[in-house]
Amino acid sequence: MLSIQAIDLMAGSKVLLQNASLTLHPGQKIGLIGANGAGKSTLLKAVLNQVALEAGTIQMPESWLVGYVAQEQSHLHLNALDYVMQGDSLYAKVRAQIDAAELSNAHDDLVKAYDQLDLIDGYEVPQKAQQLLFGLGFSEADFDKQVGSFSGGWQVRLKLAAALMQRADLLLLDEPTNHLDIEAVAWLVQWLKQFRGAVMVISHDRMFLDEVVQGVAHLDHQKIQLYSGNFAAFERQRNAQLMQQQALHDKQKQQMQHLKSFIERFKAKASKAKQAQSRVKALERMETVAAVQAMNPFQFQIADPDFLPDPMLEVEDLQFGYETSPILNSVNLTLRAGDRIGLVGINGSGKSTLLKCLIKELKPQQGKVLHSKGLKIGYFAQHQLEALNPQQSPVAHLLALPGNDQSRITDQQARNFLGQFGFSADQALSPVVDFSGGEKARLCLALMIYQKPNLIILDEPTNHLDMETRDALELALQDFSGALILVSHDQHLLSSIVDQFWWVHNQQVTRYHGDLEAYLNQRLRTLKEKQQSANAGAKTTRPGVNGAEKSAVNDKKAQRQQNAAMRQQLQQAMRQPKQRLQKVEKQLSTAQKALLNCHQQMEDSRLYESDQAESLKAILLEEAQLKSEIDDLEESWLELESELETIEAQFEAN
């Protein structure tokens, strides 16, 4: 298992984690969550030994292979299929041996390499790579294209596919859904569910976390708190904890006021001086329970439009594309006041192109886009983040909006408005050059909302947003009385604010008569059929060897028999340690289920009422005992895992 014990982690002079611990068992999948800057990505880098710890240890079995998405793009000359297959390092190593043996006509080496390829199921690797590429949105025509010919977003998908090809015991993923469309996210969810290794994933996508993880590690106040269950379970447990904390704070506040009142009343009386002094000491010893702070620092609203034309816009026989690559053809649409549209379709189908035509950023080759009188569009897309002036502050950007000047809005009013979006007084006046992607996205949203649109068009608004900002955006859009068109890979956001879908496919835009779940299930079925068709047409014959090599294959029979005998001896030596390990794992599972039951009981708000004090005390005691038991079992697990590794290493040495 992965054991993170009492670590201190810093980014420059900023303390990210202090005396923080976390344990991840084989096959366990957990989500890492926390505010931007809490240290989630840095923690993954620490697991990869890419950043140094200030204190503490990170340990895992030496035999574990850790899979992750490479930061740098390499092998740009390879085609997409070969690049993804290279992600399987064991397969790549054997293929290199085969190529070298063929080049030097080393028949014995070639036979050994083909034997090894067979042992590692290497003949299945191309098929697996194709499945990954299909799942992440690539077409069969993309397989032979060079990596360097793809755009940045598609290269990120290729790196993700290569990471998923790894025979990983532990898979580390940092916002894997950011460059995916909603169809690819749905496929990735299914793939991760079937993945047998452990997973540690950073994500701000609620539905993704709900579907994939069995635990949530919350980074908060320089600590890591692991919660059992998916994200919805985390929210219930976290809310129960906060209720308990607030109840304890209120009770302590009353106790402190009582002590202070006693001290003030009796400190001057000789007969009560000793008692008053004891109350002073009790007050000094009391460890303050903090009041619960507001969970979400972002609370903004979208003003009701001054006017709602109906229809808002119409599209007549729209056609857009290029001579050899048409994108949209004969598109006819009407958007009515109050419509809330989700735009769905695979990447490259033309969703963003359609939006740019609707806002008249792109001119159609044929047809018309008709804006009704009084239409006021608020548009957000990722490229706007790069269009911000890096030397200007958020206040300066707000004052520079069309129609704005200091006679219409003062600096203080601008700062007050930006404060709703999490920009402090100092930050509102700071150049955006050092802002994070999330801060830039919040600023772009603020600038759009300030202009009071009656039609909001959003193209992947959540890519850089943390959970709190997503929640605030969701609530604001739910209350917005104008019309809305949304492209997003965030299923939770789509399900929460959209009431109908337009499907962009085959150069057409049609209304999809069904909900999001039905659409995604349909797309997954189509993808499965495509994969099955490609597999049926793929060559299944394995490379042959000539007569001399066949003779060499026969000579290897005795060697294989000897290897089989060695494997049998190894299995015998490992049998008892494995049985003990399985027993410990079973005990761990039982203890973890009992701990989850404790946490579920703690979610009941009635438990914190005054007449339930004894019940609460008993549950808290049981929770502490279970945590201690789990710590002991995890230590036993590590020792047994180490024993098995030692036995295996001894046999390999022989």
* 574 Cβ contact list (under 8 Å, min separation 6): 644, 647, 648
| 484 Cβ neighbours under 8 A, 6+ residues apart | 339, 340, 341, 455, 456, 457, 458, 477, 497, 498
Cis peptide bond prior to 311, omega within 30° of 0: yes
Q: Is the pLDDT of residue 462 over 60?
A: yes
Share of the chain above pLDDT 90, in %: 40
Q: How far is CA 80 from CA 16, 97, 143, 390, in A?
A: 38, 21, 5, 36
Name residue 501's amino acid. Answer: F
Return d(Cα 157, Cα 163) in angstroms, integer: 10
| 550 pLDDT higher than 50 | no
pLDDT at 566: 62
Say yes or no to pLDDT of 323 above 80: no
Percent of the chain's residues with pLDDT above 70: 84
Q: Is this structure's pTM higher than 0.75?
A: no
CB atoms within 10 A of CB 303: 13
What the block records as the tokens of 580 is 């003990």
Q: What is the pLDDT of residue 242?
A: 72
Q: Which long-range contacts (CB under 8 A, 24 or more apart) does 627-633 make?
A: 627/595, 629/591, 630/588, 630/591, 630/592, 630/595, 633/584, 633/587, 633/588, 633/591
DSSP β-ladder status, 215-220 and 223-228: antiparallel
Give the mean pLDDT of 418-425: 87
In Å, how far are 185, 278, 498, 501, 570 from 339, measured between CA atoms?
26, 68, 9, 10, 67
The enclosing H or E element of 385 equals helix 383-387
Does residue 480 or residue 584 have the better pLDDT?
Answer: 480
The pLDDT of residue 343 is: 94
Q: Is the pLDDT of residue 553 over 50?
A: no
For the ranges 146-150, 190-194, 599-603, the maximum mean pLDDT occurs at 190-194
pLDDT of residue 243: 73
Place of tokens 């997409």: 80
Instruction: With a cut of 50, say whether residue 408 has pLDDT above it.
Output: yes
* 368 has a pLDDT exceeding 90: yes
Most confident range, picked from 218-222, 528-532, 539-543, 546-550:
218-222
Q: Cα(562)–Cα(397) distance, rounded to whole angstroms?
A: 75
Chain position carrying tokens 């050994």: 112
Strand partners for 170: 66, 198
Show the tokens assigned to 478: 């739910």
* Torsion angle in degrees (nearest 10) through CA of 244, 245, 250, 253: 140
The closest alpha carbon to 527, from 124, 164, 127, 137, belongs to 137
Of the listed ranges 37-46, 239-248, 285-294, 364-373, the least confidently predicted one is 285-294
Which pLDDT does position 564 carry in this prediction? 58
546 pLDDT more than 60: no
Per the structure block, which two tokens stand in for 553? 């294959």
How does DSSP classify residue 148? G
Q: Distance between CA atoms of 433 and 392, rounded to whole angstroms?
A: 8
Largest interatomic CA distance in the chain: 110
Mean pLDDT computed over 628-641: 78
Q: Which of 331, 333, 339, 340 is nearest to 371 (CA)?
A: 333
* Per-chain mean pLDDT for the chain: 84
Q: H-helix or E-strand containing 577?
A: helix 557-602
Architecture of domain 313-514: 3-Layer(aba) Sandwich (3.40)
Distance CA 82, CA 161 (A): 11
Beta strands in 460-523 (DSSP E): 483-487, 500-505, 508-512
- The C-alpha angle with vertex 206 and arms to 201 and 208, in degrees rounded to 5, equals 55
Q: Is the pLDDT of residue 538 over 80?
A: no
CB count, 10 Å around CB of 585? 17
Q: How far is CA 228 from the centre of its chain?
A: 17
Q: Is the pLDDT of residue 370 over 90?
A: yes
| Mean pLDDT confidence for 503-532 | 88
Question: Residue 3: its pLDDT value, please?
Answer: 92
Q: Are 176 and 195 in contact (CB under 8 A)?
A: no
Res. 458 pLDDT band, cuts 50 70 90: very high
| Greater model confidence, 348 or 479 | 479
Beta-carbon neighbour count of residue 531 at 10 Å? 17
CA dist 553 to 96, 190, 540, Å? Answer: 20, 40, 21
| Region of poorest pLDDT, from 170-184, 228-242, 494-508 | 228-242
Quote the pLDDT of residue 20.
92
Provide the residue type at 513 as one letter: H
Whether residue 78 is predicted with pLDDT greater than 60 in this model: the reply is: yes
pLDDT digits (tens, 9 = 90+) for 189-219: 999 999 999 999 999 898 999 999 999 999 9
**Separation of alpha carbons 250 and 257, rounded Å:** 11
- Give the CA radius of gyration of the chain: 30
Residue type present at position 257:
Q
pLDDT at 584 over 90: no
Residue 47 has pLDDT above 50, yes or no: yes
pLDDT at 293 over 80: no
Could you give phi then psi for residue 151, rounded to 5 degrees? Answer: -70, 170
Q: What is the SS3 assignment for 368? A: strand
Considering only 108-117, 142-151, 310-319, 605-614, which range has the smallest mean pLDDT?
605-614
Tokens of 42: 């840095």
